[in-house]
Amino acid sequence: MHSNNNDDSPAPTRSPQRVQLTYSLGTDGTAGPVHHPLFALLDALHRGGSISAAATALGFSYRHVWGELRRWETELGRSLIIWNKGQRAVLTSFGDKLLWAERRAQARLAPQIESLRMELERAFADAFDDRVDVLSVCASHDQALPLLRELALAEQLHLDIEFAGSLDALHTLDAGGCLLAGFHVLDGVARGSVSARTYRARLKPGHHKLIGFAQRVQGVMTAPGNPLKVGSLHDLSRPGLRWVGRPEGTGTRVLLEELIEQAGLKMPEAFALIEPSHGAAAQAVASGAADAAFGLEAAARAAGLGFVPLARERYFLVTLKSTLEQPAVQRLVSLLGSTTWARTLAGLPGYRATEPGAVLALTKVLPWWSYRSKH
């Protein structure tokens, strides 16, 4: 812990830090990321600017926070905070790097962590109450799905969600690996569009049914205040601007390609970073590892970023016509059509309830198919 304004000096080489994971059981209905007290402490110091403010935010005494800081500095062999009496406390460059590294790792692993948590909860649900119905869902990562899952649990319905790219989710559905798949597509796309070329062969009228889930906004995530004045996808080609990309096969990558084609632009040959989820893309920008990213407004707002809206899209759940009448599926459809779900969506930035719970025909919502007239 420094008491002057000099940053931390190079430390001797130490053994790699080992990570051990634990989890807790409870019935309070809360769920969050994998938690470590050191990073909660660093975040509170970063936000509050003093040990006393951090202690108040965390509900600990000043003495406890001071002692924990010294203990962790000894454990890690590095200083974590620069502190002068009467001045704002700041993290050392190592402390700052440590905090952002953990945030980015949490964001990158969020879909896998959420899937692991849901798998554990399913196991305990089966053990404690055999009245709980289980619905397997493979879906493109979304900010609202975990909220739906919490509402469903209160109705004795467990959504066993596995996050994957939109294309992988549809493939898993047809392979019998899940009962519902989730994917998203730009509103009003034409028959010859990127979305039509991508999804048409994977969706079969009369075989698949769409269930309305949500409408959401995607656009450009920027640093707070948008200091680089990023305003559109034309800035993808601006020299020196570091963009975050998404992996091929994800629905957001398809959407980005759609918008780039509509604007008459070319897809960048390479991105500065490729991140697996909206949250990870947002944290890359928030940490300064990138200047801009394309993704969900809700993820940008959660990370305290600026946001430039570019597209409104529909997110659908897809099931086979043969499984639509299963009681568990019908219970989920009913929940999606409830006012409770509409209110939940209204609390997420950029989300809107558009035909939630409605069972929709592919050819009416996505008119990408043509049939020869029979005479």
Q: Which residues contact 275 (CB under 8 A, 6 or more apart)?
A: 107, 108, 244, 245, 246, 281, 284, 293
Whole-number Å distance between alpha carbons of 255 and 9: 45
Domains of the chain: 37-102 (1.10.10.10), 132-365 (3.40.190.290)
pLDDT digits (tens, 9 = 90+) for 66-88: 888 888 888 888 888 887 777 78
Closest CA relative to residue 250, chosen from 191, 321, 185, 314: 185
What is the number of other CB atoms lying within 10 angstroms of the CB of residue 275?
24
pLDDT at 99 over 80: yes
pLDDT digits (tens, 9 = 90+) for 242-277: 999 999 999 999 999 999 999 999 999 899 999 989
Looking at 288-331, which runs of residues are DSSP E strands? Answer: 292-296, 306-320
| The dihedral formed by the CA atoms of 147, 148, 154 and 156, expressed in degrees to the nearest 10 | -140
Query: Which residue would you say has higher pLDDT here, 343 or 3?
Result: 343
Closest CA relative to residue 144, chosen from 325, 360, 354: 354
Q: Is 25 exposed, middle or buried (0-12, 13-18, 19+ CB in 10 A)?
A: exposed
Which two three-digit tokens encode residue 221? 């995530």
pLDDT digits (tens, 9 = 90+) for 288-312: 999 999 999 999 999 999 999 999 9
pLDDT digits (tens, 9 = 90+) for 306-344: 999 999 999 999 999 999 999 999 999 999 999 999 999
Residue 38, helix vs strand vs coil: helix
pLDDT at 346 over 60: yes
Q: What is the CA radius of gyration of the chain?
A: 23
Give the model's pLDDT for residue 374: 47
| pTM (predicted TM-score) | 0.72
Contact 186, 219 (CB under 8 A): no
Report CA 156 to chain centroid distance, whole Å: 25
Kindly report the average pLDDT of the chain as a whole number. Answer: 86
Contact 150, 335 (CB under 8 A): no
Residue 313, helix vs strand vs coil: strand
pLDDT digits (tens, 9 = 90+) for 200-214: 999 999 999 999 999
Looking at 66-171, which runs of residues are DSSP E strands? Answer: 81-82, 90-91, 133-139, 157-163
Q: Is 236 exposed, middle or buried (0-12, 13-18, 19+ CB in 10 A)?
A: buried
Q: Which residues contact 14 (CB under 8 A, 6 or more apart)?
A: 76, 77
Q: At what angle do helices 62-76 and 51-58 cross, to 10 degrees?
A: 110
Give the model's pLDDT for residue 375: 45
Q: For the residues 148-176, what does the mean pLDDT come to?
A: 92
Print the SS3 string covering 178-224.
CCEEEEEEECCCCCCCHHHHHHHHHCCECCEEEEEEEEEEEEEEECC
Give the model's pLDDT for residue 9: 46
Give the model's pLDDT for residue 1: 62
pLDDT at 373 over 70: no
Give the model's pLDDT for residue 204: 94
* Residues paired with 274 in a beta bridge: 245
Contact 39, 102 (CB under 8 A): yes
